[in-house]
Structure 1
Amino acid sequence: MIINLTPHPLHFYPNDCPDRIERGQVEPEFTVGPSGKVARLAQESLGTGFTEAFDMEGTSPAQSLTATAVEYVDYGSVYGLPPFDGCAPPRTFYVVPLVVALAARDRPDLLVPYRDVRNMQGSVIGCRQLARPVCNAKHREAS
């Protein structure tokens, strides 16, 4: 079973679908609707700082010095994720945003959209596969 823990429907296109398509050019093979629950990564703003940046192209550093606002953010733990079922292999897989899967790489039941399909304006409208992020080569060899 696959449960979609993103806020969007997941449209799955054929493997040979082009990277970019016009609306209606290729129909999705199937769609997994959002479950109504969303897995997220907690974040807390720690305040704004400023950094000096230079645009060196065609100007002297004195002419191009600008202050750029930078927000300091503490990214914390994952929330909204059901507990792992403990089965090997898992019986239930959860499709989550990539940042969630990377923050919880030890979970073998998390999948992310992979091989994106975009509309002609560049917005992601679906994918051709799912992927499981892994920590390192050790996990790739075990799979």
Structure 2
Amino acid sequence: MSDNFGRYFVNAIVAGLIGRMATVVKAELEKAKQEISSKLKKIGVGVGLYIGAGVFAFFMVGVFIAAAILGLATVWPAWLAALTVGGAILLIVLILVGIGSALIKKNKDLTPHEQIDTIKSTVGMSTDK
């Protein structure tokens, strides 16, 4: 009888501890979900503000381009001022496209060679013979 009582007593204590631990873990997970949800809402507001700033920056660039044309139009004829600013913008666009194309061509192979070699060497499948 005492053997069964001791076994039931230990089982009851262990079950109680596991139950309490499960309750604590569930409560903490729920708090974590709420915290993450709150942070995601704030991140969403931040992203919205970035988008708004981007829209204003887009129009600001247009205003600066117009100001450059109007400023040069005081020295040159308006058509020449517009052509000069347009040519400068075209030059900037061509430089950016050239740099972007070079980066894309250099990195278009998406195979992670370094990680594959590391895994092979870790597992023992050396690529060097």
TM-score under structure 1 length normalisation: 0.19
Structure with bigger RCO (C-alpha 8 Å, 6+ apart): 1
TM-score under structure 2 length normalisation: 0.21
Q: Which is higher, the Rg of structure 1 or of structure 2?
A: 2
* Larger helix fraction of residues: 2
